[in-house]
Structure 1
Amino acid sequence: METVRADTIELYNRYFGFETRHPLVGIVRFDRTEQTEPYRMHFGFYALFLKKTAGCVIDYGKTRYDYDDETVVGFAPGQTVGIHPLAGGHSPECIGLLFHPDFLHRTPLGQKIRQYTFFSYSSNEALHLSSEERIVVQDYMEKIARELQHPVDRFTKALVVSNIEVLLNYCMRFYERQFVTREELNHDTLGRFEQLLDEYLDSGAAARLGIPTVKYFADKVCLSPNYFGDLVKSETGKTAQEYIQLRMTRAAKELMSAPGTSIKQVAEALGFQHPAHFVRFFKRQAGCTPTAWRSGADA
């Protein structure tokens, strides 16, 4: 399958035959007239696509979601995705916003772009929209498109960046809503995570494989690490890493309560290569050293 390197917006536009009105930002439109073969694309810029119709499968999501109408997908610089047209080879109808990181240079949005976590996934999940939400997203893309029709002047960048920022803020609102509307599935995922974490610590897997990581459990529940972390945070108020550390601390206390168990044995059971690393971890979590905790528990 062909891999297209779209390191710049101009290269992307050239591949699809779009006009480049600005080298660092643009709005593109696809309709269902295009015939295309499967391909992979490497992005050198941010891209946000509102897909209006079915027409392709994108290699980025690992979970089947409960919405199947309007979706937004976001890609970040450095990501590579696979595009597989459905039967007939037509591309989906969609509108897309493209903007290069250089366009955000010396702007407040450039300093906080990483806060928009739907861009940051190594394996992305789609944002599913209601009809009303789709109208909001399309409206701001149209505003940006109209601004780009004007000759570039000293107001262009400020106006376009401000509209991009409002659009991204709306997408974050819709993204967080997605956790609420998928509450039952989220609970199931959290329950599975807790079960897997307990098994990891109780079965001796930590001693063999090392300290448990967010990525390990995200892979097990078929989600990307960032989406999984956001899900855990929305359900528990703690990050996935904090949740793992709390469970490790509890497991450490359980192990240290067993007579004759050394600090070295506890450290190894939890995946620490050196007891000193475990001592620092435990003191940070529990507020005292393992030896001090054990002395207090024995008192």
Structure 2
Amino acid sequence: MHLSLDERKLFIECLDRIKNEIEHPVDNHTAEIVASHIQVLLDYLSRFYERQFITRRKVNSDVLTKFEKALKEYYADGHGKDGVPTVNYFAEIVNLTPGYFGDLVKKETGKTAQELISLRIIEFAKQQLTATDDDISIVAYDLGFQYPQHFSRMFKRVTGISPTQFRKQISIGYN
């Protein structure tokens, strides 16, 4: 987490309050006061975590640009044989933890990283289904799916139609 100097100061003050309360003799109020201080600390941490997505727009934008570039290059560079790309794969590319990366993508785009990956996979699938007569299972394997039915399910979830129906619509459009 990225903290400003003031935020670090607040964080340390909260920890000091908790420490001071724990070091005093225990009475009927100790547990409640410690719990309250911990809750305040957690509230501040939530605020700081969410704020960094607002205050670091330029950095976040750079991360998204890098992610989008890597996403486009994944299949162009022949990585489909390595499997379907994952959030972890792209988080590693942009040097972030998967959780933080996912939060950043969601805050910046309104979509989860997995949704964006799925949309890109479907774009590639549509290109392949349009440009070739390859069997649906071949297209699925080329995109990194171990099982063609997983590909078909994703395709239908994203587009509302099956890959076969998509192909039929394309062929009707060309006639």
The bucket for the TM-score relative to the shorter chain is: 0.7 to 0.9
1:198 aligns with 2:60: no
Q: Counterpart of 1:137?
A: 11
Deviations 1:168-213 (A, max 9, x none): 121121122222222212211211111111111223211x210001
TM-score normalised to structure 2 length: 0.86
What's the CA shift for 1:154? 4.8
Secondary structure in structure 1 of the residue aligned to 2:131: coil
Q: Counterpart of 1:287?
A: 160
What's the CA shift for 1:263? 0.5
What's the CA shift for 1:268? 1.0
1:296 aligns with 2:169: yes
Structure 1 stretches of 4+ with a deviation exceeding 4 A read none
Find the aligned partners of 1:265 and 1:225 in 2 and give their Cα distance.
Answer: 30
Q: Higher strand proportion, which one?
A: 1
TM-score normalised to structure 1 length: 0.53
Letter in 1 for 2:82: L
Note closer, same or farther for the CA distance 1:153–1:283 as it changes in structure 2 (3 Å cut).
farther
Secondary structure in structure 2 of the residue aligned to 1:222: coil
Note closer, same or farther for the CA distance 1:139–1:270 as it changes in structure 2 (3 Å cut).
same
For residue 111 of structure 2, the aligned residue among 238, 242, 253 is 238
Find the aligned partners of 1:292 and 1:244 in 2 and give their Cα distance.
Answer: 22
What's the CA shift for 1:234? 2.0
1:19-38 correspondence runs (5 A): none
Q: Counterpart of 1:221?
A: 94
1:104-253 correspondence runs (5 A): 126-131=1-6, 133-206=7-80, 208-253=81-126
Q: Higher helix proportion, which one?
A: 2
Structure 1 spans left out of the alignment, 5+ residues: 1-125
Q: Counterpart of 1:278?
A: 151
Percent sequence identity over aligned pairs? 48
Deviations 1:134-177 (A, max 9, x none): 34223322322232133334543333223212211211211222
Letter in 2 for 1:176: E
Structure 2 spans left out of the alignment, 5+ residues: none
Secondary structure in structure 1 of the residue aligned to 2:3: strand
Note closer, same or farther for the CA distance 1:275–1:145 as it changes in structure 2 (3 Å cut).
same
Q: Counterpart of 1:80?
A: none
1:2-81 correspondence runs (5 A): none
